[in-house]
Each structure stands twice: as structure tokens, then as C-alpha cells.
Amino acid sequence: MMRFNVIGGLLYQQMEKKLPRDSIIAVAIMIAGGFITILNQTVIGPALPDIMNEFHITASEGQWLSSIYVLLNGLMIPLSAYLIDRFTTRQVYMTSLVVFALGTFLGSLAPGFAQLLAGRAIQAAAAGVQLTLGSVLVMRIFPLERRGFGFGVYSIVISSAPAIGPTVSGWLVDAFGWRSVFYTITPFVVVLMIVALVTLRNVGETLKTTFDAPSFLLAVVAFGGLLYGFTEAGNAGGILSPRAIVPIIIGAVCLVVFARRQLRLKEPLLHIETLKTRRFAISIVIITLLGAGMFSVSAVILPLFLIDIQGKNALIVGLIMIPGATLQAISNPFVGKLFDRFGPRHLSICGTGILFAGAVVMAFLQSGAPLMHTVIGYTLYMWGIAFVFMPITIWGVNSLPDSFIAHGNAIGNTARLVGSAIGIPLFVSIMTIVSSKSGVAAGDVAIEGINAAFAGIAILYLVTLIVIIATVRNTKNKGG
């Protein structure tokens, strides 16, 4: 406890040196909002068996409670850039919180699965705006030479939420039932709304931009088709199944039309010309590769190993994830300061190397492996993310003019989600194919399949490491 107090005091002193009190309050409020929305993304997992029993649904149907969150996050990201430019910080933040609270309330009272899914969709739409707003606000508040530290502060709580979510949810579900997951979140959202209403001030200036409805519809079909198609690829027999390949093709075609329209418009919905900046384009490629592996491990492969192979419960899964999330959270602000001083190259090379090592450790897991083996592998994995994901993100956005920060963050968040949507079915397919050849019953998971999936993730990060070594360079002002 003393260690966390010292770290908290250090962070406040560092922020207080150059930032006004209103800016510190704004960052704190964004951290709280980001924590709640990201926490909510992972709390549904331990509740899923009880939800399936109550509503008499299959696992394929139930998984949409998680998939819809990723899908709606992705759909809202292009719109979020416009909203952040067009409306004030208070307007965007308060509206998204109200919408999130309504979705949470609907989910808590849902009489059927359709209503519960609708509540999750409403939550996810608000969360997509919240996450983009938080990262944009940090970029606007902190000067160029201190953005690494600012983003590190913002990431402290954000990075711990995915691990805390399953742990808290597992305890709540066992003690009070699955609806308690929604009941517990609601009062925190209400309190945050009151605090934000009283203390949050506007950051930056609004722009009188116009809303291009055809662009938004194209974005919905494009990103929705791609995310839906890749998600279905893991459930419908592979990427070539009609349920997967048709929406992917439609999404890809609409994405091309969307991109061409944005380049022609005087006031586009999303400034994709930012991708003409070489440094930013490189960062997007790396973020996509990182996203493909990051969520595959935390959301699917590791839980399947612990639950299906080793017979652990959801609470144990969450507890195993906490050391890695804690180390990542503690490391984030210090990695940010190192980025501000030295730049991204050596940090990202080191981080990707650690990611590769963690994946290799988990690729040699056995059915009877001690928990410490899993903890070490996953902790290395999470620690590596702290050293590469944030530095690459800021390095890319710092190459853009301030007026394009919201659009750069939106494109980066989209790349992360698309990477996730591609990576999860890819590595699940590897796991399923290898498992089926090992002699287990259809639909079951074999340890050979788990090892193959982790080996595939290790290869992905080896490729990522090569890309970083070949393309990422420090700039004269280090972080910028």
C-alpha cells in the first residue's frame, strides 16, 4: 500500500509542476470514465454461464454479449472524431455517460436476451466515444514533450481494468447473481456524472464542421461488415464460410468507397489523409499487429487453457491476470517519462521482445503446469505491452498537426479493434484445427491446440519486432 501511495504522490507532483488544477481534474475524470467503460467490457465473461441458463441460449449466441461491445466500439470511433471536434468536452463526456448509464440500467432489468444485448450495445456505443475522448484530451492537455508521461498516467487505471473486471465479476456472480454486475456499475456512473457536472471544464476549441451522413453510413457498413465478418469467422467454420466472407467483402468495398469520399470532401467525417504521413501510417500498421495478439490472449486463449484444460474457475482466471495488469499499470507512467526523454525506438524494441518471450513461455504450457508458469508467462506478456503500445501510439500521433489529433486517435483505435477482430478468429482457428487433429472430441480444446495458438502469437510478435527495428526511429525532440 505504501508503494502505491508513493507512486500516486509522485504522479500528482509531476502533473502539478506545469498543469493547472482544472487540467489535472479533467485527466482524473477521464481516467475514471475510461476505467468504468473498459471494466464493463470484460465483466460479462464470468456471468455468461448463468445468463445462458436463464435465457436458454447457446454459447455461440451468448458470445455476442462480448462481440457486440467490440463491434459498437468500432462503429462509433469514426463518429467520435467528429463529435469531439464539433461539441465541447462537457457536452460529449456528459452525453456519453448518460447513454452509458441508460444501457447499464436496461441490461440490469432485461427480461430477455434481446433486451440484454440491446443494453450492451448502448453501453458499447457510449464507451467508444469515451475512450477516444479520453486519449484526445490527454494529448491536448499535455505539451508535446510531456505527452508520454501524460498518456502513461491515463493508462495506469485503463490497463488494470481488463484484469480486475473478471475478478470482481466472478465474485459478484457467485455471491449475488449476474444482474449484480450491472447493478454495481450503475451507482459509480451516477456519482461520476455528478462529479463531472460540477468540476469538468472544457478543453480545446470547437469547430463548426458539418456532418456528412453518407460518410457515416458508409463507415457503419464498412467497419461493421469487417468486424462482424471476422468475428463470425471464429464461430461459423472459418473465414470462407458465407456468414464470414460476405460481410467482409461488403465491408471492404464500402471501406474503399468511404476512403475515396473522405479524400474528396472539404470537411470529411474522418481525416484519413493523416495516413499519408509516413510515421503515422507505420504506427497504424504496428498497432494493428499488436491488437491482433493482445486481445486473443486475454479474452480467449488463456481463459480457455485455464478453464477447459486445467478446470479453474472464473475467479482464479481473474486472479492470475492481476499481477501482469498491476505491473503494466505501475510501469506505464515511467515508460511515458522514458519515451519523453529517449523516444520510442529502444522502448518498443524492448517491449516487443518481452511480448515475444511471454508468448514463447505460454507456448510450452502443459495441462498439469503449475499456476506460477502461467503467471510468469502472462505477466511478461502484459509488461511488454506497456513498453511498446503506448510509445508507438504517441510517436505516431505526435507526427500529426494538433487539429488532426482526434482523427489520428480515432484511426488508431479502429486499427486496434480491426487487429483484434482479425487476430481472435485467426488464433482460435489455429487452436481448433490443431485440437481436432489431436484426437479430442469435436468442439473440445486440446493442450496441443493451445500451444499452437500461443506459438502463432509468438510468430506474430517476431514479425512485429522486425517491422519496428526496420521502421521506428527517434526524432530530434525524442517523443515528438
pLDDT digits (tens, 9 = 90+) for 49-96: 788 888 888 766 776 787 777 778 777 877 887 888 888 888 998 999
Domain assignment of residue 10, yes or no: no
Please enumerate in sequence order all residues whose Cβ is within 8 A of that of 356, keeping only pairs 6 or more positions apart, or say none.
Answer: 384, 458, 461, 462, 465
Q: Read off the pLDDT of residues 421-469 as tens digits, 9 standing for 90 and up.
A: 788 778 878 887 888 887 776 656 789 989 999 999 999 999 999 999 9
Q: What is the mean pLDDT of residues 149-155?
A: 76
Q: What is the pTM of this model?
A: 0.79
Q: Residue 128 is part of a domain; what is its CATH number?
A: 1.20.1250.20
**Is residue 3 very low, low, confident or very high in pLDDT (cuts 50, 70, 90)?**
very low
**How many CA atoms are closer than 13 Å to the CA of 274, on its beta-carbon side?**
26
pLDDT tens, 321-333?
888 888 888 888 8
Residue 253 belongs to what domain range?
212-268
- pLDDT for 373 equals 93
Assigned domain for 408 exists:
yes
Q: What is the DSSP letter of 444?
A: -
Strand partners, 475: 478
Within a domain: residue 320? yes
Is the domain of 283 the same as that of 343?
A: yes
Closest residue by Cα to residue 75 from 117, 128, 119: 128
Examine the domain organization and report whether 136 and 79 are in the same domain. Answer: yes
Query: Residue 2 — pLDDT band, cuts 50, 70, 90?
Result: very low
Residue 124 lies in a domain: yes
User: Is 132 in the same domain as 25?
Assistant: yes
Q: Do 246 and 140 fall into the same domain? A: no
Does residue 419 lie in a domain region?
Answer: yes
413: number of Cβ within 10 Å: 24
Pair 328, 418 in one domain: yes
Count of the separate structural domains present in the chain: 3
Q: Which tens digits make up the pLDDT trace of 186-221? A: 888 889 999 888 888 887 777 777 788 899 899 889
Q: Look at residue 327 and tell me if it is in a domain.
A: yes
For residue 405, being part of any structural domain is answered with yes
Q: Are residues 127 and 236 in the same domain?
A: no
